[in-house]
Amino acid sequence: MAFRKRREALRSILAGSACTRPGSVYDATSIRIAWDLGFELGMFGGSVASLAVLGDPDIALITLTELAEQMRRMSRAAELPVLVDADHGYGNALNVRRTIEELETAGAAGLTIEDTLLPQAFGQSGTQLIPLEEGVGKVKAALAARRDASLVVIGRTGAVSITSLDDAIARARAYQATGVDALFFTGIKTRTELEAIAAATTLPIVLGGAPEDMSDPLYLASQRVRIALQGHAPFAAATQAVYETLKALREGLPPKALKGLASSELTGRVTREAEVRARSRDFLGLRN
């Protein structure tokens, strides 16, 4: 299948012994830059997807169609394997099945399904979890929906910081029993928590954020953490750069006086200008 090589690359990361730091990607340009820089994996987070597509915060407003279309654009732009945050699967277990179908055909190398209650319930200010049995049903639906067996499906829980460590372990073990390829944890704050989870499970671990004293890749690898996220700084940096550039122009600075702009050489590399010129010559008879 067209995207199997990317999915097998993600599986190799999970089956390895090292901890990989993925690059945060959110559009065709960012994924090409990550690919050119040699990242082994891209992470397409739900929060950055909402920001890039809608300009809205991460409150479950983005739709499956919008997420899948953005993933499709990235898949076309670069061959980098991408792990997609599929949130709660956009509904119940049957919706999860549709989520798998759409993201698989869009080229995702893998995706995560979490047990957070989304969207936020009426009158509830704190984050809530769905019942364990419902979470298991969602994960089973995700696994059953795969048409390409190499697609990576990861069960995710934030129970450590929402309910308790014991609940997180119980959920992780239940998701592990369904046959998922890895376990994704958010909200882990201490090495004690991570070590307890690693001791209670056997699958590769994906870690969504951690305190500074847990940033050592060798330590994380020793606890079976194979992927450790490092936030979405690229989008934040891009936002700041666009803001400062537009602000300077609005205040009257001439375009030629702007600083920090991408060179024509870098822009040409990112847009694959040489390849486009070659195609124009070969297929359109143009002599550039």
Query: The CATH number of the domain where 215 resides is what?
Result: 3.20.20.60
Q: Is 61 helix (H, G, I), strand (E, B) or coil?
A: coil
Residues 141 and 88 in one domain: yes
Q: Name the nearest CA neighbour of 257 among 249, 268, 265.
A: 249
Work out the average pLDDT over 264-274.
95
Distances in Å between the Cα of 62 and the Cα atoms of 58, 95, 106, 156, 174 are: 8, 15, 16, 19, 29
Residues 34 and 115 in one domain: yes
pLDDT at 75 over 70: yes
Structure confidence at residue 235 (pLDDT): 97
Which DSSP string corresponds to 88-154?
A: T-SSSHHHHHHHHHHHHHTT-SEEEEE-B--SPPTT--S--B--HHHHHHHHHHHHHH-SSTTSEEE
In a domain, 247, yes or no: no
- d(C-alpha 122, C-alpha 124), whole Å: 6
In a domain, 165, yes or no: yes
In a domain, 251, yes or no: no
Q: pLDDT band at residue 98, thresholds of 50, 70 and 90?
A: very high
Residues 131 and 15 in one domain: yes
**pTM of the shown model:** 0.95
Structure confidence at residue 288 (pLDDT): 65
In a domain, 76, yes or no: yes
Work out the average pLDDT over 195-222.
94
Residues 212 and 119 in one domain: yes
- d(C-alpha 253, C-alpha 256), whole Å: 8
In a domain, 109, yes or no: yes
Residues 50 and 97 in one domain: yes
Q: Which tokens is 208 given?
A: 């969504």
Can you say which residues are annotated as belonging to the binding site? 47, 85, 156, 232
11 phi, psi to nearest 5 deg: -65, -35
Q: Which tokens is 46 given?
A: 């739900």
pLDDT at 210 over 90: no
In a domain, 266, yes or no: yes
Residues 270 and 202 in one domain: no
pLDDT at 273 over 90: yes
Can you say which residues are annotated as belonging to the binding site for Mg(2+)? 85
- d(C-alpha 171, C-alpha 159), whole Å: 8
- d(C-alpha 102, C-alpha 67), whole Å: 9
Q: Is 175 helix (H, G, I), strand (E, B) or coil?
A: helix
Residues 172 and 214 in one domain: yes
Share above pLDDT 70 across residues of the chain, in percent, rounded to a whole number:
99
pLDDT at 124 over 90: no
Residues 66 and 150 in one domain: yes
Q: Which tokens is 275 given?
A: 């390849």
Q: Which domain holds residue 286?
A: 261-288
Residues 108 and 159 in one domain: yes
Residues 272 and 233 in one domain: no
In a domain, 255, yes or no: no
Can you say which residues are annotated as belonging to the binding site for substrate? 47, 156, 232
In a domain, 242, yes or no: no
Q: pLDDT band at residue 1, thresholds of 50, 70 and 90?
A: low
Work out the average pLDDT over 111-130.
93
Residues 87 and 185 in one domain: yes
Work out the average pLDDT over 92-98.
98
Q: Centre a 10 Å sphere on the Cβ of residue 5 and count the other Cβ atoms it contains.
A: 12
Strand ranges of the sheet holding 182-186, from the earlier edge strand across to the other edge = 23-24, 42-44, 82-85, 110-114, 152-157, 182-186, 205-208, 225-228
Share above pLDDT 90 across residues of the chain, in percent, rounded to a whole number:
94
Q: pLDDT band at residue 126, thresholds of 50, 70 and 90?
A: confident
- d(C-alpha 60, C-alpha 83), whole Å: 18
Residues 142 and 274 in one domain: no
Q: pLDDT band at residue 216, thresholds of 50, 70 and 90?
A: very high
Give the total number of structural domains in the chain: 2
Structure confidence at residue 244 (pLDDT): 97
